[in-house]
Chain A
Amino acid sequence: MTRSEDDLRKDDLRRKIIGLSETSHRKSYYPQLKEQINELSIAMDALQESEDKYRTLVENVNIGIFRTEPWEGGRILQANPALWQTLGFESEEEILSHPVDDIYLHMENRAELMDKLKQFGKIKDYKMEFKVRDGSTILCSLTLSAEYDSEGNIKFVDGVAEDITEKEKKSEALRQANNKLNVLSSITRHDIVNQVMVLEGYLLLLEEKVTSPEQIELIQKMKGSIRSVDRHIMFTRDYQEIGINAPEWVNLRDALKDAMISLDNFQVNIHMEPQDYMVFTDPMVWKVFYNIGNNVVKHSQAKNLYISTDEQDNQLLVVFQDDGIGIEDKKKLFKKGSSSSGYGLFLSKEILSITGIDIRETGLPDEGARFEIIFPQGQYKPVQ
């Protein structure tokens, strides 16, 4: 007897309704739930592990880490050992029972700091003095960031405080030593220059009294020597100023203008065609521009000097092109005391190298000199 498809379907359905081989579950024996609980407990273990890892890190790190309430009279809610130890507390509990305003050397500084935080949400590397319980003070570099609640009010302040007392002392000592050295060398230089002038005067008097051509020639040589001593002394003055000031963003056009105005120039037409850029460099950079300009005026016999910029391959070229006789021997151009330009180009290269900027001369002999100053990526940006 053959049975129709419908009969088979109905039989199958009936068997399923009776349900002895059903696969679904009541909630009370819900295996998927058990699986989910297993997964959850694995995740919890992993979380615990990662929490332990970070806790160890926070506890062992040599920098103070803390969380405080933002308002005046607020408490310190969390502090790692580095913080409470640095501030001279015996335990975390002890520092937590201490009002946060009280650890600042000047309470009002904290209020100012909180105002800034409200405004910016974050404060980075801010120098701040704190009280240590033994009565001493420490200087910290403080970085704070605000944590907000759902209504946008500051809920906590999380902070990192690095004790920079020692570091600051050392760099202060270094600054003082440098100052002393500068003072010493400028006094000495001043004395030498005076003596050189006196010497020049005596030579002038002597020159009038001497008639023998041999002696006159000797006097001329002595005068040459004195000029050379004078140049050396002037170089020490210029070189002393290099690298004293931190590099900064300098307006390129302004620096070029300043340099060109300072030139003693009656013959060369200067064409200023640079784009507007800011360049990150030693503030002495104008001296480099001056040196190049001076070189053109003094030695190139050029009628025109073209100053332009050219941005290509992620670098910025500042180009000084003249239409003079050009430079034949380029090998020693930037060496100390090499050419007729004296120390100028050597100095220029030194100034630029402090911030990783290069200079080269690429002019063709018949087409005049061409100095290119190369600012790498990140050290130039358009003027905003």
Chain B
Amino acid sequence: MSGEKSDKTSNQSQGSLPTRKFSAPEIILGDGSRNLIGQYVNSLSGRNVLLVTDPGIIKAGWAGEIEDSISSEGIDVVVYDKVSSNPRSLEVMQGAELYEAAGCDLIVTIGGGSPMDCGKAIGAVASNQCNVLELEGVDEVALPAPPLICIPTTAGSSADVSQFAIITDEEKKRKFAIISKTMIADLALIDPETTVSMNPELTADTGLDALCHAFESYVSNASSVITDMYALEAAKLIVEYLPKAYDEPDNLVFRDKVMLGSMYAGLAFSNASLGLVHAMAHSLGGYLDSPHGECNAQLLCPVVRFNYPFASEKYKILEKAIVGENSSRSDGLDKLVRALEDLNEHLGIKPGLSRMGVKDDDIEHLSKNAFLDPCLATNPNPATVEDIERLYHDSL
């Protein structure tokens, strides 16, 4: 600790409880909980709802069901579904325009991370009357957004419980983060039944995103005893039940467990933030529009190797939680990585970023953006641009 008097926010102080806070939305969890939407829109005094979703969710029927529930309470609903899988700033601005033009007073999002992040940003733009690009950064949203209810239909992003919204700056081909308490929903209606409609590929991608949330928040240098508890439990649940849910998509018990794991991971990363995996994945997603979960899945193992010496204790605990007690003799790192690789293999993730269209020439640009991502600030190993370039390279 250099010249500073004391660093109250550091968690390197031994034997004492570092001062940390923990923010979370009101959460309603359970099968069928989505049916409470009308009641809660009412109790938040919504009279004219902007329902943010995407074409896939409309096709699956979830958006229509929610729209009907809200309408049956005599409340007006305007649907906004122009949301890409990596939501763009222009989509946010158009949504905010619709929100204002239609005179909405509450936002409901149903879908995966994309509609949720888009809906959160729409709210912030609507109350702050600015361009969404101006909201980039940590604690940069001056005015709270209108009331927001999130209903996740994937078990992964957990944007419904987090204070993050990740938006693509399509002009600069990068993703940027809005990290603010105002991005926390007023209510997360978490209903695992909605995740049954995910195909195996999406189940794997989103589940591995959740696992990365658990890993990265657990070893984050901003973690706390509260986030550690959630992160560890999340890792356990996901590693055990994600392959089962993948194998038996219709088994609601497995879906429940994966959803629970995802929510725990969300609560953990929302408060402890993430690390290098997400910094690099955001850069990839912004540049190549690649699916977020798959990027994470490709990058988790190399980053665990890279970070291991800086957080070995925590990785050992993770390893114990995932693999079990009986193998304390062997090399922890290899064992842990092997377990993760096995998981990827089970879930049909074939290694290699090049298969996702990443080329050698892209790496310089990708690394620069990843280096500037706020997630890097909490990575246990302070990576340089060169480190990041090497990691991309090795993952090709």
Interface check B273, CB cutoff 8 A: yes
Q: In chain A, residues 1-43, which have Cβ atoms closer than 8 Å to a Cβ of chain B?
A: 1, 3, 7, 9-11, 13-20, 22-27, 30, 32
Chain A residues with CB under 8 Å of B382's CB are 7, 10
A279–B70 Cα distance when bound, in Å, is 70
Question: B144 contacts A14, CB within 8 Å?
Answer: no
B329 within 8 A of A: no
B21 touches A19 (CB 8 A): yes
Q: Is the CB of A14 within 8 A of B182?
A: no
> Are the CB atoms of B19 and A20 closer together than 8 Å?
yes
Docked Cα-Cα span, A242 to B374, in Å, equals 95
Residues of B within 8 A of A (CB-CB), count: 28
CB distance from B369 to the nearest CB of A (A): 14
B327 smallest CB distance to A (angstroms) = 34
A176 and B285 alpha carbons, distance in the complex (Å): 98
Number of residue pairs spanning A and B whose beta carbons lie under 8 angstroms apart: 66
Write the chain B residue with the least CB distance to A2: B2
**B186 contact set on A, CB distance < 8 A:** 27
Whether A14 and B221, one on each chain, are in contact in the complex, defined by CB atoms closer than 8 angstroms, is: yes
- Does B2 contact A24, Cβ atoms closer than 8 Å? no
- Nearest residue (CB) in B for A11 is B377
Q: Is B180 an interface residue (CB 8 A)?
A: yes
B337-387 residues with Cβ-Cβ distance < 8 A to A are 374, 376-378, 382
- Those of B4-40 within 8 Å (CB) of chain A: 8-9, 19-21, 23
* A32 and B143 within 8 A (CB): yes
B2 touches A20 (CB 8 A): no
Q: How far is the CB of B135 from chain A (nearest CB, A)?
A: 11
CB pair A17 B374 closer than 8 Å: yes
Residues of chain B within 8 A (CB-CB) of A26 are 23, 144, 181-182, 184
Given contacts A27-B147, A30-B144, are A18 and B181 in contact (CB under 8 A)?
no
Q: Pick the contact of A3 from B2, B23, B376, B377 — CB < 8 Å?
A: B2
Question: What's the Cα separation between A16 and B181 when bound, in Å?
Answer: 11
Q: Mark A105-145, 1 if CB is under 8 A from B, else 0.
A: 00000000000000000000000000000000000000000
Chain A interface size range? 20 to 34
Quick one: which of B181, B273, B377, B382 has the most chain A CB within 10 A?
A: B377
CA distance A17 to B377 in the complex (A): 9
Assembled-state Cα–Cα distance A22/B273 (Å) = 15
* Of A9, A11, A19, A30, the contact of B139 (CB 8 Å cutoff): A19
Contact A17 B19, beta carbon cutoff 8 Å: no
Partner of A24, one of B20, B21, B142: B142
Does B139 lie within 8 Å of A24, measured CB to CB? Answer: yes
B2 and A14 contact, CB distance less than 8 A: no
Q: A18-B20, A19-B139, A20-B9 given as contacts; is B182 within 8 A of A25 (CB)? A: yes
> What residue of chain A has the Cβ atom nearest to residue B373's Cβ?
A13
- Can you name the residue of chain B whose Cβ is closest to the Cβ of A23? B139
Cβ B144 vs Cβ A1 within 8 A? no
Q: How many Å from the CB of B20 to the closest CB on chain A?
A: 6
Bound Cα distance A3, B3 (Å) = 11
| Contact pattern, B 134-157, Cβ under 8 Å of A = 1, otherwise 0 | 000011011110010000000000
- A18→B144 contact, CB < 8 A: no
Query: From A29, which residue of chain B is reached at the shortest CB distance?
Result: B144
Contact (Cβ within 8 A) B181 A19:
yes
A14-B222, A18-B20 as given contacts; A24 in contact with B182, CB under 8 Å: yes
Q: Given the known inter-chain contacts A14-B221, A17-B273, A32-B143, please indicate yes or no for A24 contacting B378, CB distance below 8 A.
A: no
List of A residues within 8 angstroms of B21 by Cβ: 18-20
Q: Given A10-B382, A17-B138, A24–B144 Cβ distance below 8 Å? A: yes
Give the interface centre of B9, B19, B20, B184 by most chain A CB atoms within 10 Å.
B9
State in angstroms the CA–CA spacing of A17 and B21 once bound together.
10
Contact B377–A14 (Cβ < 8 Å): yes
In whole angstroms, how far apart are the Cα atoms of A19 and B184 in the complex? 14
In the complex, per-residue mask of B68-95: 1 if CB is within 8 Å of any chain A CB, else 0: 0000000000000000000000000000
Q: Which residues of B contact A (CB under 8 A)?
A: 2, 8-9, 19-21, 23, 138-139, 141-144, 147, 179-182, 184, 186, 221-222, 273, 374, 376-378, 382
Known: A17-B374, A17-B377, A24-B182. 6 other contacts (CB 8 A): A11-B377, A13-B138, A14-B222, A19-B181, A20-B20, A27-B147
List 25 A-B residue pairs with CB atoms under 8 Å apart, sorted by A's residue number. A7-B382, A10-B376, A10-B377, A11-B377, A14-B9, A14-B222, A14-B378, A15-B9, A17-B273, A17-B377, A19-B21, A19-B138, A19-B181, A22-B139, A22-B180, A22-B181, A24-B139, A24-B144, A24-B182, A25-B181, A25-B182, A26-B23, A26-B182, A27-B186, A32-B143
Nearest 4 CB-CB pairings of A with B: A13-B377, A16-B138, A10-B377, A17-B273
